[in-house]
Amino acid sequence: MDKLTVRDADVTGKRVFVRVDFNVPLEDGKVTDDSRIRASLPTIRYLLSQGARVVLASHLGRPDGKVQDGLRLRPVAERLTMLLGRNVPVTGDALGAGTVDAVNRLRNGEALLLENLRFHAEEETDDPEFAQQLADYAEVYVNDAFGTAHRAHASTVGVAKILPAYAGFLMEREIAMLSRLLEDPARPFAAIVGGAKVSGKLKVLDNLVSKVDVLVLGGGMANTFLLAQGKSVGKSLAEHDMVDEARRVLTAAEKAKVQVILPVDVVVAKEVTRGTEYKTIPAEKIPASWHIVDLGVETLGLIQDALAEAKTVFWNGPLGVFEIPSFAHGTKAIARYLAARADDGATVVVGGGDSVAAIQQQGLAERFTHISTGGGASLEFLEGRELPGVAVLRDRPAESPAKGGSKRRRKAQPTTAGTGRGRRA
């Protein structure tokens, strides 16, 4: 999948509509995690340095088509202004005469941020008139919001159908890294998939089983697989209606000669709360009234042994009840181990809010090959699905000289850090 990027666009003196993902967490009117803002900086800086007039656009939260003061983008604009070292004003609305005037007054090398796109219900319905109004602000379109690329919204698809549409540097890197996992991973290739439910990741598992050499299953979803093996899980979170599907995945993995790692010992707790009693026991001996909340030490050892020779690792989802510190040890231990594997030269790609959080909380982010900014988007990509916000971007012509293309790509300003911890796209 080779898309034209901002390097291929003539942007000098032109207004460029840039869809960014500034869907970041706020607290008391301040940005508490600016990773997604930082991830967009290489594209924004490049456009400004080329003399473009940059119109930034993003959503924030789920206002459902209504203005909500708590979801205004002013705190984001303030943080972006600080990071860029130049003023980036935010408009009072994404539409309107005042916004049109502000866009028209932009000079070469200046940027502004439109107010929250989702204050207009037409954004999420990809309303053609709304998309045209946004497109009228610019002559070129750039999408650098991979986290929203799985949504066919006005700002991700509608505008891109009207204007010449290019990928930003972050979008380019996300596509390149995730494509490599599916198309040409260095082997052995291992995937670690955690989180609460099998149902939300079944298609990803189906696709990965045909591509990986090792599959590690953890978190609440592992409990459903334990049920598929005929084991009891007590009062643990599990999807009893997905047991047959879990059994099918295990059968497919066996046929494909994929090594599957499931918990052999677990941490169980009387209640899934802070301060409760907990202990480590074999996975075959779960008390009927207890809950599985984390991996045991023996299981962590099995996982590390299985990943010791892996040259490529993809990780999505926590391996325990990560939001409770006492039950986050397994997830954090795997984060540290994968950082060490990346230090040894393995390609390690991570996506998903809690797995990213485990990395960031321990100051490990810079050691990973790539941290995806798109939780849902990265999963749909790894399902093998076409993302609307990617498909609509211009393809690089097949006749383009490979040497020239490679030369252009070397000018990229790579971005390796991002987060899925912001609000859901």
Local structure of 113: helix, strand or coil: strand
CB 208 within 8 A of CB 260: no
Query: What confidence category does residue 206 fall into, taking pLDDT thresholds of 50, 70 and 90?
Result: very high
Dump pLDDT digits (tens) for 45-79: 999 999 999 999 999 999 999 999 999 999 999 99
pLDDT at 418 over 90: no
DSSP annotation of 121 reads G
Catalytic residues: 36, 197, 353, 376
Separation of alpha carbons 345 and 214, rounded Å: 18
Lowest-confidence segment of 3-7, 310-314, 341-345, 375-379 by average pLDDT: 375-379
Beta bridge partners of residue 215, listed in sequence order = 191, 260
The answer on 113 and 71 residing in a single domain is yes
Domain assignment present for residue 351? The answer is: no
Q: Quick one: which H or E segment has residue 26?
A: strand 26-27
Calpha distance 148→387 (Å, rounded)? 9
Q: How many domains does the chain have?
A: 2
Asked whether residue 155 is assigned to any structural domain, the reply reads: yes
Q: Do 194 and 164 share a domain, yes or no?
A: no
pLDDT score recorded for residue 374: 83
205 & 168 share domain? no
CA 37, chain centre distance (Å): 14
Distance CA 28, CA 292 (A): 35
Q: How confident is the model at residue 351 (pLDDT cuts 50, 70, 90)?
A: confident
- 148 pLDDT above the threshold of 70: yes
pLDDT, position 1: 63
DSSP state of 365: G
**What integer pLDDT is reported at residue 257 of this predicted model?**
97
Q: Which residues pair with 55 in a beta bridge?
A: 17, 112
In angstroms, the CA 234 to CA 252 distance is 27
Q: Which tokens belong to 265? A: 């010992």
pLDDT of residue 319: 95
Can you tell me the distance from the alpha carbon of 272 to that of 196, in angstroms, rounded to the nearest whole number? 13
102-113 pLDDT tens trace: 999 999 999 999
Q: For all residues of the chain together, what is the average pLDDT?
A: 92
Residue 412: count other Cβ atoms within 10 Å of its Cβ: 17
What confidence score (pLDDT) does residue 399 get?
A: 65
86, 75 Cβ separation under 8 angstroms: no
User: What confidence tens digit (pLDDT) does each residue in 151-172 have?
Assistant: 999 999 999 999 999 999 999 9
**Residue 393 predicted with pLDDT over 70:** yes
* Domain assignment of residue 294, given as a range: 187-310+312-345
Q: What is the CATH number of the domain that holds 317?
A: 3.40.50.1260
Helix (H) and strand (E) counts in the chain? 15, 16
* Residue indicated by tokens 């181990």: 337
Quick one: 274 and 196 in the same domain? Answer: yes
Indicate if the pLDDT at residue 280 is higher than 70.
yes
Q: Which residues pair with 111 in a beta bridge?
A: 54
Residue range 342-350: mean pLDDT, rounded: 97
Residues 13, 146, single domain; the answer is yes
Query: Domain for residue 371, yes or no?
Result: no
Q: Are 291 and 399 members of one domain?
A: no
pLDDT digits (tens, 9 = 90+) for 233-272: 999 999 999 999 999 999 999 999 999 999 999 999 999 9
Phi, psi (deg, nearest 5) at residue 409? -65, -30
In terms of Cα–Cα distance, which of 248, 288, 251 is closest to 268? Answer: 288
Query: CA separation (Å) from 338 to 169, 176, 222, 334?
Result: 25, 21, 20, 6
Q: List 279's β-bridge partners, or say none.
A: 268
Residues 134, 230 share a domain: no
Q: pTM for the complete prediction?
A: 0.87
Task: Give bridge partners of residue 90 from the DSSP assignment.
Answer: 113
Query: The tokens of 112 are what?
Result: 């502004």
Q: Do 136 and 199 lie in a common domain?
A: no
